[in-house]
Structure 1
């Protein structure tokens, strides 16, 4: 598909640019109408998203987006199997926030409103936001960020943390101190892999189960089955239970 001067060419069929209707600023959303062309089949490839073949009829309009596509993460249900990358969800949110700031800086308020709505819908999804909180937990774990870990836990006496092979530690202050103690002899960043991630949410309580694999520098991989329980407080998810049970690899 190419444009030469005032002529639009698609698979050998040409039309003048008077048949083209571009709105908004290139290279954002472009609408192309081909009222004078005969029906033809258009295969949507990887750059436009997969979905089979679509027939463009006279008078119909083809909508496509130029540039990097933005795909929202798919969230695993309670009954599904396999592996889910919570890191990809966080990256989607970060990308949207960056694009929102760029659109505002460029005074492209129509695009900013669209990105804001997309971001809002993403954040409203309870399972997605629980997985985001779980991802932030492992981000702080990976780099030994005590301040980030402090911000993630609910500031309540009822919170509980069970490190591998240890008894439960209760109370916000003692839980945070336990992380500082655990990390005392670690060299960061740690290598952490998560597998078989599943998320369950009901009301203001959600929990994530997964297999957690941790490797220190010069050490071997250690495996734990983990349950992380989150509570939504004032619209934000906080971790209130972390339970890691060691598993022989």
Structure 2
């Protein structure tokens, strides 16, 4: 069970690595193909279908300079080939339009649903929402 859990977390971490490094090829390898996948970016409407999801990440990665995710409170639950990962996303990124470069921080919560496939764990759903401070 621990080995399976580790594989889920490896895929989960790879998702954030893909965003941080602007690696659309890695991002593409992590999602289940199909029209029933869904992604909810913070404050946005759901994006449905793997093609549309990958386009949304390509746009996001092209428009973000530096971004780093420090994940905390990571929890995994599993049932019958499906894993749900919840976490807190502590985000450090470049503040837009600031010269010299200024960094801004924020927090979000995320829930990811992954499905076990013959080639490893793949994302079926990602939902991230901001945490309102104070």
TM-score range, shorter chain: 0.7 to 0.9
Query: Matched residue of 1:238: which SS?
Result: strand
Q: How far apart, in 1, do the equivalents of 2:23 and 2:132 lie?
A: 28
- Using CA pairs below 8 Å that are at least 6 residues apart, which structure has the higher relative contact order? 2
Q: Secondary structure at the match of 1:167?
A: coil
Distance 1:175 1:203 in 2: 25
Are positions 1:248 and 2:125 aligned together? Answer: no
Shift of 1:162: 0.2
Q: 4+ runs of 1 displaced by more than 4 Å?
A: none
Residue aligned with 1:216, SS: strand
Among candidates 201, 205, 208, match of residue 78 of structure 2:
201
| Greater percentage in strand | 2
Q: Verify: 1:169 aligned to 2:47, yes or no.
A: yes
Equivalent residue for 2:69, pick from 176, 192, 209:
192
Q: TM-score, normalised by structure 1?
A: 0.48
Is the 8 Å Cα contact of residues 113 and 126 (structure 2) preserved in structure 1? yes
1:219 is the counterpart of 2:97: no
- 1:147 to 2:31 alignment: no
Match of 2:11 in 1: 133
Instruction: Tell me how far apart the structure 2 counterparts of residues 170 and 159 of structure 1 sit (CA, whole Å).
Output: 6
**Aligned with 1:177: secondary structure?**
helix
User: How many angstroms apart in 2 are the aligned matches of 1:212 and 1:164?
Assistant: 11
* Structure 2 residues not aligned, in runs of 5+: 95-101
Q: Gapped runs of 5+ residues in structure 1?
A: 1-122
Q: RMSD over aligned Cα, in angstroms?
A: 1.5
Is the Cα contact below 8 Å between 1:146 and 1:180 reproduced in 2? yes
User: Deviations along 1:74-113, whole A, 9 cap, x unmatched?
Assistant: xxxxxxxxxxxxxxxxxxxxxxxxxxxxxxxxxxxxxxxx
Larger Rg: 1
Cα distance in structure 2, aligned partners of 1:226 and 1:191: 15
Aligned length in residues: 126
Q: For the Cα contact (< 8 Å) 2:22–2:62, is it kept in 1?
A: no
Confirm or deny that 1:234 pairs with 2:112: no
- Deviations 1:47-75, CA, capped at 9 Å, x for gaps: xxxxxxxxxxxxxxxxxxxxxxxxxxxxx
Question: 1:141 deviation in Å?
Answer: 1.4
